[in-house]
Amino acid sequence: MVKLRLAVMAAIAAGLIFDVQSLSAAEIRILSAVLMKPALEELGPTFERATGDKLVMSFGTASVIKERIQKDDLADLVILPLPAIEDLQKEGKVPVGAVSVGRSLVAMSVRAGAPKPNIATVESLKQSLLAAKSIVYSDPAGGAASGVHFANVLSRLGIADEMKSKTKLTRVPGPGPAELVAKGEAELGISQPMEILNVLGAELLGPLPAELQNTRDFVYQATVLPNAKQPAAAKAFIQFLLGSEAATVMKKKGLEPG
């Protein structure tokens, strides 16, 4: 907490924060993609205690949050995947210069205590998928980024047709891939680490090989909005998310810092 106070003071000295009064009693309204929720809810109280500010956080799917910004919803700060931020920048809804605060991978889950197949390389992943009795991932037709990506992975591996008969698809609302794995309704689940770590009875097997990861769609960026009432305090929160304390929490929740 002392480190956070020093970081805020350093930001003031550097000219990044210029409204000391807003820092002492600001209400920062945040719109964020739901994947960031576990990390932000743990980090929020630490920031509030150190600064005296209050965070009012609202979460939703990337498409829902993007639409709220397009409709000029009142907020100080938005956190969204890179493609959504770029779309909003083209529309003039958010400024250029958003900061990357976290990255997610696409990963696999197994039921807790179940055998752990090898997915360390592209070839071992392919063989493990072919050997699995069943797999589950989010329905690409529903717009889930991890589902769209994994469908492309199956095509790249050349096994899309072979996997169809043993594939289950999930949609929101409804149980996610890791939840079905935990219930024993599928052998392997494909989703993002943060989703897997939040499901009792599911175990994180590991990420897909680096060659099969998506390096754009799962980069989460933060930016202060043009209609922000507390721009200085919002900038301070972004700086906090780039610090070592936030990095530790993000790793614990399944995200890669910045």
Please check whether residues 189 and 236 belong to one and the same domain. Answer: no
Please check whether residues 40 and 92 belong to one and the same domain. Answer: yes
Please check whether residues 60 and 39 belong to one and the same domain. Answer: yes
Please give the biggest Cα pair distance in the chain: 62
Residues 119 and 128: beta-carbon distance below 8 Å: yes
Please check whether residues 187 and 236 belong to one and the same domain. Answer: no
Tally of domains in the chain? 2
pLDDT at 16: 45
Please check whether residues 95 and 161 belong to one and the same domain. Answer: no
CATH number of the domain within which 228 lies: 3.40.190.10
Please check whether residues 38 and 7 belong to one and the same domain. Answer: yes
Tell me which residue range forms the domain holding 42: 2-103+218-257
Q: State the pTM of this model.
A: 0.80
Please check whether residues 123 and 73 belong to one and the same domain. Answer: no
Residue 7's pLDDT band (cuts 50, 70, 90):
low
User: Could you report the per-residue pLDDT of 155-180, keeping only the tens digit for each?
Assistant: 999 999 999 999 999 987 889 999 99
Q: Which of 195, 212, 229 corresponds to the end of one domain?
A: 212
Q: What are the Cα distances from residue 12, in Å, to 17, 19, 21, 78, 237?
A: 5, 8, 12, 22, 13
Please check whether residues 9 and 41 belong to one and the same domain. Answer: yes
Q: How far is CA 63 from the centre of its chain?
A: 13
Please check whether residues 136 and 123 belong to one and the same domain. Answer: yes
Tell me whether strands 188-191 and 135-138 are parallel, antiparallel or unpaired.
parallel
How many other CB atoms are there within 10 angstroms of residue 24's CB atom? 11
Please check whether residues 76 and 123 belong to one and the same domain. Answer: no
Question: Phi, psi at residue 173, to the nearest 5°?
Answer: -80, 155
Please check whether residues 136 and 174 belong to one and the same domain. Answer: yes
Please check whether residues 225 and 206 belong to one and the same domain. Answer: no
Residue 53 has pLDDT above 90, yes or no: yes
User: Could you report the per-residue pLDDT of 26-44, keeping only the tens digit for each?
Assistant: 999 999 998 899 999 999 9
